[in-house]
Every structure is written in C-alpha cells, then in structure tokens.
Amino acid sequence: MNSSGRLFRVEIFGESHGPALGVLIDGIPPGTALNSSDFSADIARRRGGQEGTTTRIESDMPEILSGWYMGKASGTPMLILFCNTDTRSSDYETFRAMPRPGHADLVSGIRYKGFADPRGSGHFSGRITLALVAAGVVAKRILPGASFNTKIIEAGGSKDIMAAVKKADAEGDSVGAIVEIRVSGLKAGLGEPFFDSVEGLLAKNLFAVPGVRAVEFGDGFAAAKMTGSEHNDPYIGPDGKTAKNGAGGINGGISNGAELVVRVAMKPASSIKKTQKTWNTKSSSIEELSVPGRHDACIAIRGAVTLEAAIAIALADLELLSRSRSCTE
Ligand SMILES: Cc1cc2nc3c(=O)[nH]c(=O)nc-3n(C[C@H](O)[C@H](O)[C@H](O)COP(=O)(O)O)c2cc1C
C-alpha cells in the first residue's frame, strides 16, 4: 500500500494531472510547532524551472486541511493538499499504445488493469514526491537535534555535475546521479536488530522514491573490497566516539550516534527526446519514440530533497518508537 511507518504514519495520494495530490499523516505529537511557511524551503528545492529540470511550474502551496490549530499540530490526522494547475496531458497520449522504455506506463496498465490515470504519468509521476517532501518537513519537527546535509556528489560519473547535465540535455538525453545524505545529531539506540533495522527502514522509504536504483550506507559497496582492519571504526573514547565512520552511523541495525551517511543512485529519467525503440500495441510492431513534453534531464536535482524527506520520515517513526519503549529498571 502507499503508506509507511507505525507511529509516524504517512499515506500519500494523488495524480500528476488530477485536481490535487497530498499526504495524510497520523501520529504527530500534539503541540508540534508547524506553520505553512515551514514548508517553503524544502518545497523550493524540489521546484522545476532550474537548469536540467522540468519547465512545469506549480505554486506548490500547501493547504493544511486538518490536524492543525493555531500554529501547532493538534495530534489528530493531518491532511496536507497541493493543487495541480500547470498540466499538459496531451503530451502523454502516445504512451497508452507505446509505453516509454524505463517508465511505469506498461506496469501501471497491468497492475491497475487499464484503469490507472495515465495523464502526466498519473500516480507514478515524480510530481507525487511533493507529498513526500511535505511529510519530510513534518518529520524533521520530530527530530529536533538532527541536521541534514544533502548534495549531489556526481552525475553521469563526473564530479562536474552541471556539465554532465547540460551535455545530456543538449543531446535530448538524461543523466543519472549519486546523492549523498548525511544526518548529524541523531541519537544512538534507534532501530531494531533485524527487520526494523535503521538501514532496512531507510532503504524501504528511499526505494519508494521513483527513480532510485541503489542505496548504500557508510563504506557501502566499497566495504566488499576492504579488510576488517580498514573497515572497522576504532573507538577513541567512552561515549562510543570512533576515529572514522565506515559503518555510516549504524551497527547491528541500531544508530550508534555517529553521523548517518547514505548514498543513493538515482537513474537518468526515462522520458527523453532522443529516439528510442518501443513496442506499439496498436500496430503490433517495434517503432521509434521520441518523448515530448517537459521532463527533468537529471531527476536528482529535484530528487535530492525527496530522498532527504524519505529518510526523515523513517527516522521520525524510529524516534517515536524509541520514545514509546519502556524499561522496568
Ligand atoms: C523529483 C523527481 C522528478 C522526476 N521527473 C521525471 C521526469 O521528468 N521524467 C521521467 O521520465 N521520470 C521522472 N522521474 C522518475 C519517474 O517518476 C520514475 O522513473 C517512474 O515512476 C518509474 O519508476 P522507477 O524509475 O523507480 O522504475 C522523476 C522522479 C523524481 C523523484
């Protein structure tokens, strides 16, 4: 289902070209301070119009319809709504017969038995991650000590991110990227050893973001090339402080108080002007497709903040679970 979390419960809904999209959040501690203006900074990071991103421009104004009173969360379910206005659905009609390679046109047809809203990629659009960003803003309110530092560290294998994006864009193509998210100020002791490990819950939420291809923590895949003496983090004090952070802030599925280090591979957007081949179900033949419309040449530019939100949502749930744990001693 489209929901995440146990105590901080998030459910997203909506379509790219339907009237609206949004998020329903349950479990916000009553009295959590929150105002519409608190959403502005993160929403701006996801907005189109920047180089290498879609030219679709929406106001993205959050309407808090419930669970909020006089600048504070009331504790009842909070519904946050965003209206869609800048839609151009005709761009998407071709994909009914000619599914875009790499996109969800074919599988959404199968999964929803032909009834899914195809306009603007419907529920499979990157547009829906606006709801995730809104939930991320609320989640961060539940993690007051945590500070997020998120950046694109490479695109198309190059450190010169904008050069790689401009090149792909000029060629009518798109480019993938790696986003690094660091969270400092997280307390030690969040998470469970097995299925609800910090890595497990974070990865689950990160893979909810469309276009995510891989996630690694700390040394990640590089750990497979290391020896124990290289990968281990030597303790240098009584408080669990370590000389380095190859584990990325997690041991045994539990946060260890060090900085959380997560890297996420985002794929190149599948909607490209460059000609690709696809199967046309009307003519029953392979045909060439050049995707029209407004698309991101590098989805990581707008996607970075959505990954941060996905992490914040999982951490807020873990934080509330840890507050609910009691001990008889
Ligand atoms: C912020 C954001 C913006 C996106 N923009 C586009 C886009 O302009 N064109 C496109 O084809 N895919 C875009 N995507 C990715 C698609 O939504 C995604 O590829 C599609 O739903 C299929 O899912 P998958 O790639 O995870 O298999 C975007 C994703 C995000 C997170």
Each as own residue / partner, the long-range contacts of residues 271-274 (CB below 8 Å, 24 or more positions apart, any chain) are 271/100, 271/103, 271/174, 271/295, 272/172, 272/173, 272/174, 273/172, 273/173, 274/171, 274/172, 274/173
Domain total of the chain = 1
pLDDT recorded at residue 71? 95
Flag whether 329 is in a domain: no
pLDDT recorded at residue 88? 80
pLDDT recorded at residue 292? 87
39 lines ligand 1 (CB under 6 A): no
pLDDT recorded at residue 329? 58
Question: Which helix (H) or strand (E) element contains residue 169?
Answer: helix 161-170
Flag whether 261 is in a domain: yes
Please name the residue whose Cα sits nearest to atom 8 of ligand 1.
295
**CATH code of the domain covering residue 268:** 3.60.150.10
Is the whole-model pTM more than 0.75? yes
Residue range(s) defining the domain that contains residue 209: 3-324
Q: Separation of 128 CA from ligand 1 center, angstroms?
A: 10
Q: Separation of 197 CA from ligand 1 center, angstroms?
A: 27
pLDDT recorded at residue 296? 93
Kindly report, residue by residue over 6-24, the tens digit of the pLDDT.
999 999 999 999 999 999 9
Nearest to 139 by CA among 209, 58, 200, 205: 205
56 lines ligand 1 (CB under 6 A): no
Q: Separation of 255 CA from ligand 1 center, angstroms?
A: 30
Q: Are 148 and 308 a contacting pair, CB within 8 Å?
A: yes
pLDDT recorded at residue 225? 98
242 lines ligand 1 (CB under 6 A): no
Please name the residue whose Cα sits nearest to atom 4 of ligand 1.
126
Q: Separation of 239 CA from ligand 1 center, angstroms?
A: 42
Report residues of the chain scoring pLDDT below 50: none
Flag whether 205 is in a domain: yes
Residue with tokens 């744990």: 325
